[in-house]
């Protein structure tokens, strides 16, 4: 019996189709891009740098986290990460005295005006001290909680003044490049400036 000769399959067109599909998926697929953390690393200061101005102890909120991810506020109060946001809110928004540069009292603060806590949002400094053994997740969790506190305060004052949240103003900036919008955003940031100081980590 004669052997049957099978016709060859032309695979050239299959390679072209596969290549076109690859190009299509590369063009059509959207990729999520992480925003990252809005923090600037401290720059090395020159040797002849004048010493920083002395701050009143009540205007500094000290948060420390050890290598076991245990949190201390003001050196004595044991707290959880979930508590940091409210602690930061109360501290920043206290409004117990006058602000920098002759600003006077904070008339937009809703805090308790405790004389032993921060005088004004533009004087309120949050000092964060970590350990080299602190877990990355705990460190980021604290920064996130502090950021949420500032965002909540900025949203509130922005709603009161402009009828829009601060986050809405930021989103609007993508399509609106007007100076008026820039001035609004700048004003809100000046009312609640984000002042976070990171102390040199301890441990090995």
Output the pLDDT for position 100: 84
C-alpha angle 14/17/18, rounded to 5°?
Answer: 85
Give the Cα separation of 59 and 116 in Å (integer). Answer: 9
pLDDT tens for residues 71-90?
Answer: 999 988 899 999 999 999 99
Instruction: Judge contact between 109 and 94, C-beta under 8 A.
Output: yes
Check pLDDT > 60 for residue 36.
Answer: no
Output the pLDDT for position 12: 59
Average pLDDT, the chain: 85
Burial class for 46, CB neighbours closer than 10 Å (0-12, 13-18, 19+): exposed
pLDDT tens for residues 128-170?
Answer: 999 888 898 999 999 999 999 999 999 999 999 999 999 999 9
C-alpha angle 49/53/42, rounded to 5°?
Answer: 55
Average pLDDT over residues 109-127: 93
């Amino acid at each position: 019996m004669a052997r049957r000769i099978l016709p060859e399959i032309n695979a050239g067109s299959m390679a072209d189709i596969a290549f076109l599909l690859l190009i299509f998926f590369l063009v059509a697929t959207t990729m999520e891009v992480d925003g990252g953390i809005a923090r600037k690393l401290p720059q090395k200061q020159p040797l002849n740098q004048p010493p920083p101005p002395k701050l009143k102890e009540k205007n500094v909120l000290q948060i420390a986290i050890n290598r076991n991810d245990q949190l201390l506020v003001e050196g004595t109060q044991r707290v959880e990460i979930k508590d940091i946001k409210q602690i930061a809110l109360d501290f920043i928004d206290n409004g117990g005295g006058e602000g920098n540069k002759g600003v006077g009292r904070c008339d937009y603060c809703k805090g308790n005006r405790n004389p032993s806590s921060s005088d004004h949002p533009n004087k309120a400094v949050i000092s964060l001290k970590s350990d080299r053994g602190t877990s990355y997740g705990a460190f980021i969790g604290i920064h996130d909680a502090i950021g949420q506190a500032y965002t909540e305060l900025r949203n509130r004052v922005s709603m009161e003044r402009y009828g829009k949240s601060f986050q809405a103003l930021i989103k609007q900036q993508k399509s609106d490049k007007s100076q008026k919008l820039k001035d609004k955003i700048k004003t809100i940031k000046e009312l609640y400036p984000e002042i976070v100081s990171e102390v040199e980590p301890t441990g090995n």
